[in-house]
Structure 1
């Protein structure tokens, strides 16, 4: 056990559920507006992720010949399934994060 952990345990902390301190009405109103603005900005990113994840099976169903096409000996459909969603989701997450931060900076 590290000395840091022993120190933390020795101090003792109050048991029970942590509760957020109440905000004054002006801050609560601002937090509510911020929450709603960020939620509104999150919807397009969520729709794009769902379209990506549901769109890939649709692409495979519409174009079954993608299994026959090969790139470096690997079927193109496998490459699309393995390499396309993760970078796309990472880019969407970064895009959404920047949009949410812009709302906070206002």
Structure 2
């Protein structure tokens, strides 16, 4: 009977710790540029809040509308209930339009 070779643990070579770069302080902006940057940030935040509110109304409003108007759920389009179409298909193209609208408004705000 031959002796089995002794098992050896194989491991990767020890890694050296990678240095995490420290954040550098932001360069001071010209007061005019700093004010423009603050204004741009406020404008973008307002636009984002409006877009988010529109998306919330769209996504939460459709089920509420169908709950308040149950007759809409009884209608059929192509053999499918209108309520199902309104909740499953309608939001996606509308969200695409909402994203396009938000992008156009954000780009317009960034123009000098």
Question: Structure 2 length normalisation: TM-score?
Answer: 0.70
Q: Which residue of 2 aligns with 1:105?
A: 111
1:20 & 1:77 partners in 2: Cα distance? 54
RMSD over equivalenced CA pairs, Å: 2.1
1:51 to 48, 51, 57: 57
Higher relative contact order (CA 8 A, sep 6+): 1
Structure 1's unaligned 5+ residue stretches are 1-12
Q: Quickly say closer, same or farther: Cα 1:17–1:84, change in 2 above 3 A.
A: farther
Q: Quickly say closer, same or farther: Cα 1:20–1:88, change in 2 above 3 A.
A: farther
Q: Which residue of 1 aligns with 2:78?
A: 72
Deviating more after overlay: 19-28 vs 94-103: 19-28
Q: Which residue of 1 aligns with 2:26?
A: 21
Q: Where does structure 1 differ by over 4 angstroms across 4 or more consecutive aligned residues?
A: 17-20
Going by fraction, where is helix more abundant, 1 or 2?
Answer: 1
Map of 1:73-92 to 2, 5 A cutoff?
Answer: 73-92=79-98
Structure 2's unaligned 5+ residue stretches are 1-17
1:67 & 1:15 partners in 2: Cα distance? 57
Structure with greater Cα Rg: 2
Q: Quickly say closer, same or farther: Cα 1:16–1:62, change in 2 above 3 A.
A: same
Q: Quote the offset at 1:14 in angstroms.
A: 5.7
